[in-house]
C-alpha cells in the first residue's frame, strides 16, 4: 500500500488491511471525536433541563415536549446505519465534517424557532447531523487505536463526552434562566465552525472495505426504522391500537425483514449478518438498547421533577443534577481502562444493576417536599452505574468485528442506542400519563415514580443481556492460539510485521484481551 499515507485510519479503500495511525493522528481523532460527541451530548441534556421553560414559553403540551426530544432521536436513530455506510463509501473524515456542518446549521435553526413546530423540525435536522457525528466519531477513534488500547480510548471518549453530560443540565439551566432557552442552541455554532477545518486538516481520509454503497439496503433500513420509531413516538398520543401506530409498526417490521433478507443476498452488505454470530456483538447491542432506554427515562424526567415538584429554577435543577451527570466524566475513563483488564461483562452487568438500584431508590423516596440531600446518594449510584456500562458495551461491540468493519459495527451500535432512547421515553411517558400529570406536584410525583419504575426494569433487562457477553481468560502475550476471531478472514503470514500486517496484529491483540469464555 505504498500509495497510501501511513497515518491512514482504518482501511484504505479497496484493500483488506489497515495502516497504523501515528500517535499524533490518534490524539487528534480522540480530541475531535470527543468535541463532536460533547456537542451532541450537551444538546440532548441541555434540552432536558429547558423543557419546563420551553413548555411555558411556547405553550406546548407534554406530547409536544416529547417531540422536541424524539424528533432529534427519530432522525438520529433511523440514519445511523446509513451514516456508517456513507462514511465507509465516501470517506469517514469527509462525512464527519459534513455532519458537523449540518448539526451546526440545525442548531442555528433551533435557536431561531418561533414555534414548537419549527423547533421540532430543526431538532430533526440536528439529528441527521448527529447521526453522522456520533457514528463516525466512534469509528474514527476505534480504528485509530489497536485492540489492546481501544477500551481505554473509548473510555476517554465517553469520559470527555461525560463533560457534556455533566455540563448539560447546568448550562441549560443557567442559560434558560439567565438569558433565554434559544441560547442553548447558539452555543453549538462557534464550536462546530471551529471544529470543521481542524477535522479536514488534521485527520487523514479513510474508507471501509466496500467499493459501492448498498442503496437498496440504505432505503430498506431507513424506511423500516422510521416506521418502528414512528410507532413508538406516536403510540401515546394516537393510541397503541390505532391504525396509524399498528400500521407503522407492521410496515416498519416488514421493511426490516426485507432488509435482513437483502443483506443475506447482496455481495457488499451495509450490515453483515455474520456479525450477529458473535455473542459480544449480539449481547452488546441488546444491552446498549436497554442501557439507553433506562438512561433516557431518567434524562427526560429528573430535571422536570426538580422544577415541577421541588420548585427549583432551571439553574438550580441543573446544579442539583451534577452528582448524577458528573460521574460519567470521572468514572467512564476508569471503566474503559478496566475493560481492557477484566473484560466487559462484569462492568456492564454490574453497572446496570447499580443504575437500577439508584433509580429505584429515587422512585421510593420521591414525593413533594422530599429533602434534596435524600436524593444525592442514589443519584451518584445511578450515575456511576451507567458510567461503568457505556464504555464496556461499546468496546464489546466494536471489538467483535474485524478492524476494517468497525464503521459498520459502530453504526449498528449507535442505532440500537437511539432506538433504545426513543423506546424508553415512549414507554415511560405512556406510564406517566396513565398515573400522573402536570396539574399538581402530587400528580407529577405519582407519574414520576411510575416512570422511574420503568427505568429500573429496563436497566435490569440490560444487566441480564450483559450476562450473555463472552468472558475472558488469560493468554500468553502474543499468543495466536486463543479463541477464534469473530470472522474467518485469513490472517497474513507475517503477523509481527507492523507495516505489512496491522490487521493481524489487531486480531492477535483482540485474542489476548478479548477471548470468549
Above 80 in pLDDT, residue 455? yes
pLDDT at 338: 80
Above 60 in pLDDT, residue 59? yes
% of the chain surpassing 90 pLDDT: 16
pLDDT at 390: 81
Contact by Cβ (8 Å): 424, 454: yes
Q: Where are the domains of the chain?
A: 23-201+266-471+494-513
Q: What are phi and psi of 383, to 5 degrees?
A: -65, -45
Distance, CA of 288 to CA of 92 (rounded, Å): 23
Above 70 in pLDDT, residue 183? yes
pLDDT per residue over 206-220, tens digit each? 776 655 667 788 788
Cell 499515507 sits at which residue? 5
Distance, CA of 63 to CA of 47 (rounded, Å): 15
Above 60 in pLDDT, residue 113? yes
Contact by Cβ (8 Å): 230, 248: yes
**So what CATH class is 23-201+266-471+494-513?**
mainly alpha
> Between the CA atoms of 142, 342, 163 and 113, what dihedral angle is there, to the nearest 10 degrees?
60
Distance, CA of 422 to CA of 410 (rounded, Å): 18
Contact by Cβ (8 Å): 456, 356: yes
Q: Work out the burial of residue 70: count CB atoms within 10 Å of its CB; fewer than 13 is exposed, 13-18 middle, 19 or more buried.
A: buried
Structure-model confidence comparison of residues 131 and 501, the more confident one: 131
Q: How confident is the model at residue 359 (pLDDT cuts 50, 70, 90)?
A: very high
Range name among 81-90, 152-161, 165-174, 345-354 with the lowest pLDDT average: 165-174
Q: How confident is the model at residue 178 (pLDDT cuts 50, 70, 90)?
A: low
pLDDT at 4: 36
Residue 187 CB contacts under 8 Å (≥ 6 apart), including other chains = 42, 46, 107, 171, 175
Above 80 in pLDDT, residue 448? yes
Please report the DSSP string for 68-87 in residue order: HHHHHHHHHHHTHHHHHHHH
Above 70 in pLDDT, residue 81? yes
Q: How confident is the model at residue 461 (pLDDT cuts 50, 70, 90)?
A: very high
pLDDT at 125: 92
pLDDT per residue over 243-294, tens digit each? 999 999 999 999 999 988 998 888 777 778 888 888 888 888 899 899 988 9
The model carries a pTM of 0.69
pLDDT at 164: 62
pLDDT at 490: 38
Q: What are phi and psi of 407, to 5 degrees?
A: -60, -45
Contact by Cβ (8 Å): 327, 384: yes
pLDDT at 129: 92
Task: Report the 10 Å Cβ neighbour count for 423.
Answer: 23
Distance, CA of 40 to CA of 77 (rounded, Å): 13
Nearest-Å Rg of the Cα atoms of the chain is: 22
Q: What number is the average pLDDT over the span 220-233?
A: 82
pLDDT at 473: 41
Contact by Cβ (8 Å): 259, 217: yes
- Average pLDDT over the chain reads 76
Give the rounded distance of the alpha carbon of 318 from its chain centre: 22
pLDDT at 225: 79
pLDDT per residue over 25-55, tens digit each? 788 888 888 888 778 777 766 676 677 677 7
Q: Classify residue 484 by its DSSP letter.
A: P
Range name among 123-127, 207-211, 434-438, 493-497 with the lowest pLDDT average: 493-497
Please report the DSSP string for 406-441 in residue order: HHHHHHHHHHHHHHHHHHHHHHHHHHHHHH--SSSH
Q: How confident is the model at residue 167 (pLDDT cuts 50, 70, 90)?
A: low
Cell 488500547 sits at which residue? 149
Partner residues linked to 18 by β-bridges = 11
Amino acid at each position: 500500500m505504498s500509495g497510501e499515507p501511513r497515518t491512514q485510519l482504518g482501511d484504505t479503500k479497496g484493500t483488506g488491511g489497515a495502516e497504523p495511525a501515528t500517535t499524533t493522528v490518534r490524539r487528534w481523532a480522540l480530541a475531535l471525536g470527543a468535541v463532536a460527541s460533547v456537542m451532541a451530548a450537551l444538546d440532548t441534556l441541555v434540552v432536558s433541563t429547558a423543557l419546563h421553560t420551553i413548555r411555558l414559553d411556547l405553550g406546548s403540551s407534554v406530547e409536544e415536549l416529547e417531540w422536541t426530544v424524539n424528533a432529534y432521536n427519530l432522525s438520529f436513530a433511523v440514519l445511523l446505519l446509513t451514516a456508517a455506510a456513507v462514511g465507509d463509501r465516501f470517506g469517514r473524515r469527509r462525512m464527519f465534517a459534513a455532519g458537523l456542518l449540518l448539526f451546526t446549521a440545525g442548531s442555528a435553526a433551533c435557536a431561531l424557532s418561533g414555534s414548537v413546530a419549527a423547533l421540532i423540525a430543526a431538532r430533526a435536522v440536528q439529528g441527521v447531523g448527529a447521526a453522522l457525528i456520533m457514528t463516525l466519531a466512534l469509528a474514527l477513534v476505534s480504528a485509530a487505536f489497536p485492540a489492546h488500547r481501544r477500551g481505554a480510548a473509548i473510555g476517554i471518549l465517553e469520559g470527555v463526552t461525560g463533560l457534556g453530560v455533566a455540563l448539560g443540565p447546568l448550562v441549560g439551566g443557567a442559560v434558560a434562566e439567565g438569558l433565554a432557552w434559544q441560547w442553548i442552541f447558539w452555543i453549538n455554532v462557534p464550536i462546530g465552525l471551529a471544529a470543521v477545518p481542524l477535522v479536514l486538516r488534521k485527520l487523514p481520509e479513510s474508507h471501509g472495505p466496500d467499493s459501492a454503497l448498498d442503496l437498496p439496503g440504505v432505503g430498506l433500513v431507513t424506511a423500516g426504522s422510521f416506521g418502528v420509531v414512528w410507532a413508538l413516538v406516536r403510540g401515546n398520543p394516537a393510541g397503541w391500537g390505532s391504525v396509524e401506530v399498528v400500521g407503522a409498526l407492521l410496515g416498519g417490521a416488514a421493511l426490516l425483514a426485507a432488509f435482513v433478507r437483502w443483506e443475506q443476498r447482496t455481495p457488499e452488505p451495509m450490515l453483515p449478518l455474520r456479525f450477529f454470530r458473535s455473542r459480544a456483538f449480539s449481547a452488546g447491542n441488546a444491552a446498549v438498547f436497554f442501557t439507553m432506554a433506562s438512561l433516557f427515562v431518567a434524562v427526560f424526567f429528573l430535571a422536570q421533577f426538580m422544577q415541577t415538584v421541588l420548585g427549583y429554577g432551571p439553574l438550580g435543577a441543573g446544579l442539583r443534577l451534577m452528582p448524577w451527570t458528573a460521574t460519567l466524566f470521572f468514572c467512564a475513563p476508569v471503566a474503559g481502562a478496566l475493560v481492557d483488564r477484566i473484560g466487559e461483562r462484569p462492568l456492564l452487568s454490574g453497572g446496570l444493576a447499580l443504575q437500577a438500584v439508584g433509580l429505584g431508590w429515587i422512585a421510593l423516596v420521591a414525593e413533594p417536599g422530599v429533602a434534596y440531600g435524600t436524593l444525592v446518594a442514589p443519584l451518584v449510584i445511578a450515575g456511576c452505574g451507567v458510567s461503568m456500562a457505556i464504555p464496556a458495551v461499546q468496546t464489546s461491540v466494536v471489538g467483535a468485528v474485524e478492524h476494517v468493519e468497525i464503521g459498520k459495527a459502530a453504526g449498528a451500535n449507535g442505532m440500537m442506542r437511539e432506538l433504545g432512547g426513543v423506546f424508553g421515553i415512549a414507554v415511560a411517558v405512556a406510564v406517566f400519563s396513565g398515573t400522573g400529570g402536570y396539574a399538581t406536584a402530587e400528580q407529577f410525583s405519582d407519574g414520576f415514580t411510575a416512570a422511574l419504575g420503568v427505568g429500573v426494569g429496563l436497566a435490569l433487562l440490560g444487566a441480564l443481556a450483559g450476562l450473555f457477553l463472552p468472558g475472558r481468560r488469560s493468554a500468553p502475550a502474543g499468543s495466536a492460539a486463543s479463541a477464534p476471531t469473530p470472522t474467518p478472514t485469513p490472517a497474513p503470514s507475517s503477523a509481527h510485521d507492523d507495516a505489512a500486517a496491522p490487521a493481524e496484529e489487531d486480531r492477535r491483540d483482540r485474542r489476548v484481551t478479548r477471548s470468549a469464555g
